[in-house]
Chains A and B, each alone.
Chain A
């Protein structure tokens, strides 16, 4: 998981897709890729359907992206069906309160909390 950032290159830059079990070693490259995507000033869609797990560094990266979008007045969305393993991680460590199987649902839970806490 260290060297290759898990981003497909054959989709347009606004559509990002992450894969596998992501951890702090992947945080740097993924952060850069997200920043690049924000440069385009186009709505960004991040597909999480092939992510099996994340650690806190990666989850905070997504939360940070929501804040960036809010500050810059841009659109940032999560898409795809969230895998069971990832859902249970998110619930277990308090990132979401109820299990959520879609990226949209995840976004909803996070955004409401996000806007509230800003």
Chain B
């Protein structure tokens, strides 16, 4: 049982530590942000408290030292410095390691850091190393900002308010800026038309405001109309339960508890009775009701924000598997209903299909996570690497909210680390070198994500040196990755840039601890391929490099196009399909004498028969179909016997025995229980290209 709580603590702590990292980096950027300082302090405080509770005493003691330092910072005793951020980040790492491996030997690092934290306060700010900023401003408002308080505001302007040129709406607007506000107008003082001066103000307002800005902020709103209005501001007691109407009226001094009790005993509506007996005006009741409603809404909002639950990811995986089974079963039901030609069954099958597809989308939605969680860790990476290499680099991120399947996100982290490392190490030049080239000292790496159809595009761009065609070519020849007989001029930029993904390729003249050991980019390529994605490199010398990863949204269930070759069934992912064309065999044969190309939408389209690629025996039919797909952004046609139609494809991995099968990425089970193979379009396209090249060489 206690282990369960310990696990929960570890989960919570690692979440806190990951936000702590972001906050520390944020503080480095904005050293005066009191809110960030408080947030860091709170995170440390929570970790300290929970750690002690679950017996992680070493962590608790250690965190206490860090917390002390931040308390000094809060009180303006020490400034924010690079040194402070550095040691706090190191402390964060120590806590994180210690949590993951309770027996890890961290004592030395811990006592070293603790010493550094202790020394922080004893130095004067002049003597502190790397002091980059002046003392933070003393904070007076911090105490006030700690809690939300609900205030009742009664605002009754005098008749001459309008003549003074004041628009009461603007004052109310200012109150809205302070927090959730409920407003009710009091109209009882308005006279009938014949007695009305149209330029006098007769209305008043009762308002309920919940804010953390303090009563002075409210008073400030009315500062210029103090003489022109009656203003009463009172704070209400903080209670968890929503007050009853009677209680609010008593609170407001409109009636006494005894009266309310008397009315309640007679089981009558308080508002009605009080108005009837002239104890309260209807407006008083309305105003009190509004306050009650205001508090109710506030409470609901708080409750809504706290209704997330933590679920182990294995359970989600099981759920996805089950939904996958259900999708397969539904296909079978549809098929059976179709063959039995039973109207009733068909209706049920169709309704079932609708529900299943909703269930599928919802389940997939649960697995979607914003990619921002992955982005955050790169801030730290770029910061540490650039200071290690003596470079100045900013990381800009965009599209953090873009959602991707959780398994895809997990598999993306490593490739992105490699790419960003490369950008920091090889891409961005040293500050002096940049200045010589007329570039700003600080380099920029930008990391962005955006949705594009069934894919997410993740782009890492830098404004560094760019890739050098000649050097890549020379290196590739040297490493035997490219034959010397192929001249550099005959290779496109894409061909050259793709070489960096070859295993064992690295052009860096210096092997650093960061990168340059020739592993990395081939890992990137392999990982992205395994995700069914592709990598595109664009680079211009002196200007920088863009690396774009194109990743499918999900790996579990996709929309596919079911096709047939002889008796074999294949699924082509619908997201890459551009169109289908029909072609007579005679015409095809005529063309095949030269090369396998045809004209499609006024463009030359190479095509290849799946029958040949997969060596399917049998006669070709007289009329064949060509499915046009985009493989690595170039169109290619696959010749099949028949296009059957779109199909919800639950992807099943192939067994180890079939892992090496080129051109197949997985399998799916059809409604009747037969297996269809899922075509790996990118792989197949490059296979076809190789075959074509061989054919050309033979000629």
Residues of A within 8 A of B (CB): 24, 27-28, 30-31, 34-35, 38, 55-57, 59-61, 63-65, 67-68, 70-72, 89, 92-95, 97, 113-114, 116-118
Contact = CB atoms under 8 A, between A and B. Distances in A.
A57 B199 contact: yes
A93 B203 CA distance: 11
Interface string B279-296: 001110010001000000
B205 interface: yes
Contacts, number: 91
Contacts of B168: 56, 93
Contacts of A65: 193
B187 A60 contact: yes
Contact of B162 (A24, A31, A71, A72): A24
A117 B188 CA distance: 6
Nearest to A72: B192
B203 A64 contact: no
Contact of B183 (A55, A94, A116): A94
A118 B187 CA distance: 10
Interface in B144-194: 162, 167-169, 172, 176, 182-185, 187-188, 190-194
Nearest to A89: B169
B293 to A, nearest CB: 9
Top 7 A-B residue pairs of the complex, sorted by shortest distance between their CB atoms: A94-B183, A116-B282, A27-B198, A68-B193, A31-B198, A68-B192, A67-B192
B183 A92 contact: yes
Contact of A93 (B183, B191, B290): B183
Contacts of B196: 31, 60-61, 64
Given A64-B191, A65-B193, A95-B185, 16 more contacts: A31-B193, A55-B167, A56-B203, A57-B201, A60-B203, A64-B193, A67-B191, A68-B193, A68-B194, A70-B192, A92-B172, A92-B183, A93-B169, A93-B185, A97-B290, A113-B286
A35 to B, nearest CB: 6
11 contacts: A31-B198, A34-B193, A56-B168, A56-B203, A57-B201, A59-B203, A67-B191, A68-B192, A68-B194, A70-B192, A117-B282
A36 B191 CA distance: 17
B275 A56 contact: no
A56 B169 contact: yes
B638 interface: no
Nearest to A90: B185
Contacts of A55: 167, 169
Given A92-B183, A93-B183, A28 B198 contact: yes
Nearest to A116: B282
A55 B157 CA distance: 15
Interface in B275-313: 275, 281-283, 286, 290
Contacts of A71: 192
Nearest to A114: B187
A118 B182 CA distance: 24
Contacts of B570: none
Say whether chain A's binding surface is mostly helix, strand, loop, or mixed.
helix
B282 to A, nearest CB: 4
Contacts of B162: 24, 56-57
A18 to B, nearest CB: 14
Given A56-B167, A63-B187, A116-B282, A35 B275 contact: no
A67 to B, nearest CB: 4
Interface in B380-435: none
A117 B187 contact: yes
A65 B184 CA distance: 20
Given A55-B169, A56-B168, A113 B282 contact: yes
B375 interface: no
Contacts of A114: 187
A31 B197 CA distance: 9
B647 to A, nearest CB: 46
B191 A94 contact: no
A106 B201 CA distance: 21
Contacts of A63: 187, 190, 203
B117 interface: no
Contacts of A94: 182-185, 205-207
Residue picked from A61, A94, A116, most chain B C-beta under 10 Å:
A94
B654 to A, nearest CB: 58
B202 interface: yes
A46 B622 CA distance: 78
Contact of A67 (B167, B193, B207): B193
A72 B194 CA distance: 10
B169 A60 contact: no
B188 to A, nearest CB: 4
A116 B275 contact: yes
Contacts of B283: 113, 117
Contacts of A89: 169
A2 B275 CA distance: 42
B201 A56 contact: yes
A61 B187 CA distance: 11
A72 B593 CA distance: 101
A5 to B, nearest CB: 12
A82 B183 CA distance: 20
A6 to B, nearest CB: 14
B207 to A, nearest CB: 8
Contact of A30 (B191, B198, B202): B198
Contacts of B207: 94
A55 to B, nearest CB: 6
Contacts of B203: 56, 59-60, 63
A28 B163 CA distance: 13
A57 B203 CA distance: 9
A61 B282 contact: no
B208 to A, nearest CB: 11
B202 A60 contact: yes
Contacts of B286: 113
Nearest to A76: B193
A57 B198 contact: yes
A117 B281 contact: yes
A68 B198 CA distance: 14
A98 to B, nearest CB: 11
Contacts of A61: 193, 196, 198
Contacts of B199: 24, 27-28, 57
Contacts of B191: 64, 67
A77 to B, nearest CB: 15
Contacts of A28: 198-199
A64 B283 CA distance: 16
Given A94-B185, A94-B205, A113-B286, A60 B167 contact: no
A28 B494 CA distance: 75
Contacts of B182: 94
A115 to B, nearest CB: 9
Contacts of B275: 116
Contact of B190 (A38, A64, A116): A64
A94 B207 CA distance: 9
A92 B201 CA distance: 18
A116 B169 CA distance: 25
Contacts of B193: 31, 34-35, 38, 61, 64-65, 67-68
